[in-house]
Structure 1
């Protein structure tokens, strides 16, 4: 109740400000659809089909406020606050337990902008989110995220306590730097993050690259995904992996390209992710049939992953697009031999009823070999394949 009252109070305050100041804008997206998935893990060692009404299939449902004040001399003060919600339930949406109650978890920044570019302070995404416009994220959104784009940050991962600088457009080039403060007394590097990105726009050609690195804060842990273990089974041991504060935990590099050939946009990209927990090898030992080799082979636990993508968006008319993409991730894991492979084939169509409202329909076939199949929305709990279908509507305001 307190969270609801707080949210209503904040929304009411900003609504009043929007009426009083023309420089403040209220905007948002409501995206919801029906999703079918085959072979979803039941948590009891079996799988079954699942139908659901999902929010944020292409883009996360959200409401935001942004504004600008002219300070004179070409300098402006800017801010942006953005919260996510689940349209199917009306609840505030969080990417994990630590952010599920954050009102403005999607973005919370304030800064200055001018001919030099912009400087923003707060909670924000790094430049991988910007250059994702040259990938399947631009058309399929979160539909291709679980195959690798969630891991390589192209889906838009936030950095708390951060300051970023983005240049103005210089002959088609735009650059970005971001630094996240670890805020740990006596150890500056603990929880620290930094990144650098660059993009180039020239007519039909779009190119982008980004590097991001973060360090452990001493509290981050990886452990066995016990949700994949049948409740009737026993585990020999479940050992948690604790990261050493100040040591590198994540390194990610993205290289993307897109070109518009008449009505068709063709794109390709590659990302490499390394996750070094800097721990003593101490993986979970589980003896539950095939799960004994798969429990630790979830994409989030890969020590190295290479994500590849090829795709196209073809405009049959100004209102109708046909979409297609192939995503592939090759992953390596600590403590287990061989590589895991995750592949998804996606087809779709997107029809705009107006400039703000569109209808979409997506198909996907996701196959995993020697690793857990993450599925489009829900994991299968084992390797193998999964089919998925989504039909939805998105409205922007």
Structure 2
């Protein structure tokens, strides 16, 4: 026993020098309802026996979902003169036992699925290399103040649910905070550089700029993401053939503002996107055009689909107020009629309503109940709804 104690004491200075922090978040919910994200079978046509489209006649069911668990390791080393080396490895978890598209959080069994990097920080700001969040994902989304999985009990119809994310092969710079202002710039390199159908080499790099200001609880943030050669590879015919010339660039931007202090949250957001083919999150909402379909007398090819330009406009408003351990919240979100190649597609607008309450059992443990409803204006698309009860613990 004395030897073990001596070894433990001897190891303490090494642990202190390593300065490694273990942290994480474990959360899950019981969810009931019907949602496109649940993947429940929509059944078959009573006459033809044909499998119905996934957005028609949605079926309800119950799920036990991991809604965003993760574990992380991070550390730093003081290099002197105000300079530090920093690193982090963060991994998404699936405590419900499912992975990928069947999981509420979408994580696969890979390593470092979340922000993982090495970098330097000092008076000049911070530079990191690795898999990194855009400014939209790391510093915004205050209006999406919900815990949720594959259901619609969060701000799921806005692009925050699909376009705010992490970029592989990325470098990001974060400025120091100057009188409440901050600035970030990110570049994600295309390491494939494939050849498009016009025999030109693509460069599908991604870049992101972010700017924010916060003072006395008031905040405003804006961010822009540019997607280069975005129409290349936006559709696949199942034989690994990729289509599109890679000669069109897409983008997404959003601005947010509000107040978050003194137990009150008021957050509003407005965003727009211009994206191509299946790279657009609204691609499946406009009829699910496929190779071989006849549209206006023309048989659609892979190149046709890859070059469909989708434009969207969206907005959201969230209100929340903390009373003791309770925080009731409400969100309204809207996506206006989608435009495809400049033509408005009527009755494709969406309205979403989410209401719920969080209850803080402690500083690290929260339980919640929430209900979300999505009203699709298109007659051929079913409405969606989710009721969920869950728990979150941070460590």
Whichever of the two has the greater Rg, that structure is: 2
Counterpart residue number, 1:120: 128
CA deviations over 1:224-253 (Å, ceiling 9, x no partner): 9x9xxxxxxxxxxx9x982333531x3011
1:327 matched to 2:336? The reply is no
Counterpart residue number, 1:207: 220
Secondary structure, aligned partner of 1:128? helix
Q: What's the TM-score once normalised by structure 1's chain length?
A: 0.75
1:314 matched to 2:310? The reply is no
Counterpart residue number, 2:65: 54
Matched ranges for 1:1-397 at <5 A: 19=15, 21=17, 23-38=19-34, 41-44=40-43, 45=52, 46-56=57-67, 60-89=68-97, 100-136=108-144, 138-140=145-147, 143-150=153-160, 153=163, 156-184=164-192, 190-216=203-229, 220-222=233-235, 242-245=243-246, 247-248=248-249, 250-260=250-260, 262-277=262-277, 283-284=289-290, 303-317=310-324, 319-334=325-340, 338-339=345-346, 340-370=348-378, 382-397=380-395
Gapped regions of structure 2 (runs ≥ 5): 1-11, 44-51, 195-199, 280-287, 295-307
What's the C-alpha RMSD, in Å, of the aligned pairs? 3.5
Q: 1:133 to 1:245 in 2, by over 3 A?
A: closer
Secondary structure, aligned partner of 1:252? strand
Q: 1:184 to 1:260 in 2, by over 3 A?
A: closer
Moved more, 19-28 or 124-133: 19-28
Q: 1:205 to 1:323 in 2, by over 3 A?
A: same
Q: 1:50 to 1:306 in 2, by over 3 A?
A: same
Q: 1:95 to 1:108 in 2, by over 3 A?
A: farther
Counterpart residue number, 1:375: none
Q: 1:92 to 1:140 in 2, by over 3 A?
A: closer
**Distance in 2, Cα, partners of 1:310 & 1:341:** 17
**Distance in 2, Cα, partners of 1:103 & 1:92:** 13
Q: 1:388 to 1:184 in 2, by over 3 A?
A: closer
Q: What's the TM-score once normalised by structure 2's chain length?
A: 0.75
Moved more, 189-198 or 205-214: 189-198
Secondary structure, aligned partner of 2:140? helix
Whether contact under 8 Å (1:131, 1:256) holds in the other structure is no
Gapped regions of structure 1 (runs ≥ 5): 1-15, 227-237, 288-300, 372-381
Q: 1:357 to 1:188 in 2, by over 3 A?
A: farther
**Distance in 2, Cα, partners of 1:218 & 1:272:** 18
**Distance in 2, Cα, partners of 1:369 & 1:316:** 36
Counterpart residue number, 2:46: none
**Distance in 1, Cα, partners of 2:101 & 2:92:** 5
Secondary structure, aligned partner of 1:384? coil
Whether contact under 8 Å (2:209, 2:225) holds in the other structure is yes
Secondary structure, aligned partner of 1:130? helix
Q: 1:204 to 1:218 in 2, by over 3 A?
A: closer
Cα drift, residue 91 of structure 1 = 5.1
Whether contact under 8 Å (1:144, 1:327) holds in the other structure is no
**Distance in 2, Cα, partners of 1:100 & 1:62:** 12
Cα drift, residue 354 of structure 1 = 0.8
Moved more, 202-211 or 175-184: 175-184
Cα drift, residue 361 of structure 1 = 0.5
Secondary structure, aligned partner of 2:178? coil
**Distance in 2, Cα, partners of 1:338 & 1:387:** 24
